[in-house]
């Protein structure tokens, strides 16, 4: 990258997005070179330098990077330009890197970038996958939390409330949970319970299938031959006692009473 800006800008054939020589000279009239290599924008400023190009306001650093003759176009997968010099008013293309939105945020000095670069909690515990747990805030934001500090706070709280703190009943490790089981043992216990529950469910399903396959369809009259035999012998088809008709008088009365009760229930249900 040369120390001075080129005399002519990049002018692709048939493109209207690149400046003319007059616009290019006007752009560099607002640039002041500094000893540290930054080309500071002294024109209109907002968060970045602002340059008026053909009736529209555009970021000065993006304009310089796009119109510089030796730089490649800004890729679509890395649409943002990060200032490696941390000077947001610098328009030197040598200090600009095309990056993604996430990478640009993590390179900065905001809260998310500063916290992402932390490797230890305020108490000095290292953020490892085993020692890191998610913590959902009331606002909905998700942050990481030190598991060792969380366990220490929980242990102190339970001791203050008079709850027992001892060793895990399964692996004999120190635990702060009132169930006296550490997280690993609770996970293994829950998994064993789940497998046993699934096995019982499969056994019940198989038993029901076997019972359904061996079951004889129910019929209103289970023994048709006995029914016709009693009718031919002049006996009651219900109780088998001698009868002059289809049923004996007690069975006939009971049958009529059942029919009347059934009709009464149907009328009550329809109302």
Is the Cβ–Cβ distance between 83 and 95 less than 8 Å?
yes
Q: Which ranges of 146-182 does DSSP label H, i.e. alpha helix?
A: 147-160
Q: What pLDDT, on the 0 to 100 scale, is given for residue 14? A: 42
Tokens of 270: 């329809």
Q: According to CATH, where is 3.90.75 located in the chain?
A: 21-113
Residue with tokens 């409330």: 161
Whether the pTM exceeds 0.85: the reply is no
The answer to whether the beta carbons of residues 89 and 67 sit under 8 Å apart is no
Handedness of CA 250, 256, 257, 258 (dihedral sign): positive
The helix (run of H) or strand (run of E) holding residue 142 is strand 142-146
| Cα 263-269-271 angle, rounded to 5 deg | 105
- What pLDDT, in 10s, does the model give residues 148-182? 898 888 878 777 765 555 666 667 666 545 556 67
CATH of 21-113, one of 3.90.75, 1.10.101, 3.30.450, 1.20.58: 3.90.75
**In the 8-state DSSP scheme, what is residue 41?**
E
For residue range 219-269, what is the model confidence (pLDDT) as tens digits? 444 566 777 777 788 888 788 888 887 788 888 888 889 889 988 988 888
């Amino acid at each position: 990258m040369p120390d001075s800006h080129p005399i002519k800008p990049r002018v692709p054939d048939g493109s209207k997005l690149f400046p003319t020589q007059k616009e290019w000279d006007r752009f560099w009239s607002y640039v002041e070179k500094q000893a540290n290599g930054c080309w500071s924008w002294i024109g209109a400023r907002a968060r970045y330098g602002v340059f008026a190009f053909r009736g529209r306001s555009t970021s000065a650093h993006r304009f310089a990077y796009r119109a510089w003759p030796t730089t490649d176009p800004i890729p679509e997968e890395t649409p943002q330009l990060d200032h490696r010099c941390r000077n947001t008013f610098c328009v030197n293309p040598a200090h600009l890197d095309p990056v993604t939105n996430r990478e640009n945020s993590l390179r900065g000095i905001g809260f998310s970038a500063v916290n992402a670069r932390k490797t230890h909690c305020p108490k000095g515990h290292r953020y490892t996958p085993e020692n890191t747990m998610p913590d959902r805030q009331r606002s909905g934001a998700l942050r990481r939390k030190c598991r060792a500090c969380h366990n220490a706070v929980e242990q102190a709280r339970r001791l203050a409330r008079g709850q027992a703190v001892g060793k895990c009943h399964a692996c004999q490790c120190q635990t702060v949970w009132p169930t006296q089981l550490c997280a690993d043992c609770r996970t293994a216990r829950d998994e064993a319970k789940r497998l046993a529950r699934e096995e019982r469910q499969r056994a019940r399903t198989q038993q029901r299938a076997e019972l359904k396959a061996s079951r004889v369809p129910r019929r209103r009259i289970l023994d048709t031959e006995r029914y016709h035999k009693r009718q031919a012998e002049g006996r009651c088809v219900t109780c088998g006692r001698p009868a002059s008709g289809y049923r004996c008088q007690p069975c006939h009365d009971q049958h009529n009473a059942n029919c009347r009760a059934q009709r009464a229930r149907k009328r009550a249900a329809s109302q």
